[in-house]
């Protein structure tokens, strides 16, 4: 962005950070675009820090009891999907105050113009921009703080978070420039795989989202096998059979979406899926996709349900994760206070 000038980038040790809002149940989009890939990163042996971003969730109204429930459910989904709280750090944002402290400092670094260009803000605020919370406007600056409180270098996300990560880069660059330091890394978005943007099952031009009023538009990680299967069989499609190459899906957003979902669930490329199903009717492809989705998702849902039987254990895991997160973030944010010129004379 205009007033951000690139400084030479010193090397920072690789560290992954990512977050998910507990603002509703998780969807297949969250699973394929984020969660599944979080597990892959953990398995690559890189340091991984994952967060239920409850402070972000309250930028729009959340019922307090539901928020607590959804935060636990999200954590259960992480674990059920394969996140091992002993290897990855798993916690909820509000338990580590370094996030909001750094978020404030970043509010003083980020420019109004940068924020006003955020398409997610514009989409969420719609015609109502006078009446949304100030927090919703400042949302990306807290997101930058989440990442940079750990000096994370890589951030796996779905495609919709790309612009927020560009802003995180701009904040890091401007902070480094303003204070003449090489303190923050300029993060790399990690947006990869066949399902970086899973679309609605009712409209292939709209993102699958937990906030869509139609439950038929998404697969929730809490859906049982029968519901998953029905939703896929009823998904909107066109009357043509599947083509024999990806070009043939160009103007067929619903068909393209189902092929991408199949590929991501199976761990194949979309090209492979098209090769296997060239010429197939949806009457054949949809049941195959439904069976695959149930086979992959049902064990996660069952494990989530089992974990949710013991909320105290989930809270314990989040607390232990927060202790480990705090041990990394506290000294980093303390150094930021020194850099910006705050007196820190309390005995600790
Ligand atoms: P959130 O909670 O909306 O979504 C969590 C993750 O899921 C991805 N995702 C999708 N991927 C593919 N297709 C979809 N239909 C789909 N829907 C959601 C999102 O891209 C995201 O990776 N601002 C973030 C949360 C956040 C964060 C952070 C992320 C806060 N601080 C720091 C990374 C680093 C958000 O609202 O995600």
Q: Please check whether residue 52 is in contact with residue 92, taking contact to mean a CB–CB distance below 8 angstroms.
A: yes
Q: Is 207 a catalytic residue?
A: yes
Q: Is 124 a catalytic residue?
A: yes
Q: Which residues pair with 92 in a beta bridge?
A: 52
pLDDT attached to residue 183: 98
Residue 169: name the closest of 153, 154, 186 by CA: 186
Q: Please check whether residue 38 is in contact with residue 155, taking contact to mean a CB–CB distance below 8 angstroms.
A: no
203 CB-contact burial (10 Å; exposed 0-12 / middle 13-18 / buried 19+): middle
pLDDT attached to residue 1: 47
Domain 15-196+310-340 class, CATH top level: alpha beta
How far does the centroid of ligand 1 lie from the alpha carbon of residue 243, in Å?
31
Ligand 1, atom 27, lies closest to the CA of 19
pLDDT attached to residue 162: 97
How far does the centroid of ligand 1 lie from the alpha carbon of residue 342, in Å?
33
Residue 344: how many other CB atoms lie within 10 Å: 8
Among 41, 62, 153, 161, the mutation site with the greatest number of ligand 1 atoms within 8 A of its Cβ is 161
pLDDT attached to residue 79: 98
List average pLDDT for each run of 10 residues in the chain, which is 348 residues long.
54 96 96 98 96 98 97 98 98 98 98 95 89 96 98 98 98 98 97 96 96 96 97 97 96 97 97 97 98 98 98 98 98 98 90
pLDDT attached to residue 8: 53
pLDDT attached to residue 4: 52
- Identify the sign of the CA torsion 88, 90, 96, 99: positive
- Print burial letters for 279-290: b (CB count within 10 Å at least 16), e (below 16): eeebeebbebbb
pLDDT attached to residue 93: 98
pLDDT attached to residue 9: 62
> Three-class SS of residue 3?
coil
HEC string for 250-311: CCCHHHHHHHHHHHHHHCCCHHHHHHHHCCCCHHHHHHHHHHHHHHHHHHHHHHHHHHHCCH
Ligand 1, atom 36, lies closest to the CA of 21
How many Å apart are CA 84 and CA 204, to the nearest integer?
34
What is the CATH code for 215-307?
Answer: 1.10.240.10
Domain ranges of the chain: 15-196+310-340, 215-307
pLDDT attached to residue 13: 94
């Amino acid at each position: 962005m205009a007033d951000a000038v690139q400084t030479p980038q010193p090397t920072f040790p690789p560290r992954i950070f990512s977050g998910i809002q507990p603002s509703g149940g998780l969807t297949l989009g969250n699973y394929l675009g984020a969660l599944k890939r979080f597990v892959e990163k953990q398995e690559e042996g890189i340091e991984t820090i994952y967060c239920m971003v409850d402070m972000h969730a309250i930028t729009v109204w959340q019922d307090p009891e539901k928020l607590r429930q959804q935060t636990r459910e999200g954590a259960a989904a992480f674990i059920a999907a394969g996140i091992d709280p002993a290897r990855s750090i798993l916690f909820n944002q509000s338990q580590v105050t370094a996030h909001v402290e750094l978020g404030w400092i970043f509010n003083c670094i980020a420019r109004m113009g940068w924020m006003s260009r955020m398409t997610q803000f514009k989409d969420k605020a719609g015609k109502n921009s006078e009446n949304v919370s100030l927090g919703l406007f400042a949302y990306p600056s807290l997101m930058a703080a989440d990442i940079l409180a750990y000096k994370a270098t890589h951030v796996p996300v779905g495609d919709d978070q790309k612009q927020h990560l560009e802003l995180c880069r701009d904040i890091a660059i401007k902070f480094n420039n303003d204070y003449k330091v090489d303190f923050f890394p300029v993060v790399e978005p990690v947006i990869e795989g066949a399902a970086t943007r899973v679309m609605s099952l009712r409209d292939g031009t709209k993102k699958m989202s937990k906030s869509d009023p139609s439950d038929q538009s998404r697969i929730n990680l809490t859906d049982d096998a029968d519901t998953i299967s029905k939703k896929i069989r009823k998904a909107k499609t066109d009357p043509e059979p599947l083509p024999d190459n990806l070009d043939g899906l160009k103007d067929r957003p619903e068909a393209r979406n189902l092929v991408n979902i199949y590929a991501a669930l199976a761990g194949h490329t979309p090209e492979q899926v098209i090769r296997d199903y060239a010429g197939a009717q949806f009457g054949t492809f949809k049941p195959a996709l439904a069976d695959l989705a149930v086979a992959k998702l049902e064990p996660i849902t069952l494990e989530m349900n089992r974990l949710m039987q013991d909320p105290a254990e989930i809270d314990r895991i989040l607390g232990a994760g927060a202790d480990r997160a705090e041990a990394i973030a506290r000294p980093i944010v303390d150094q930021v206070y020194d850099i910006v010129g705050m007196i820190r004379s309390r005995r600790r």
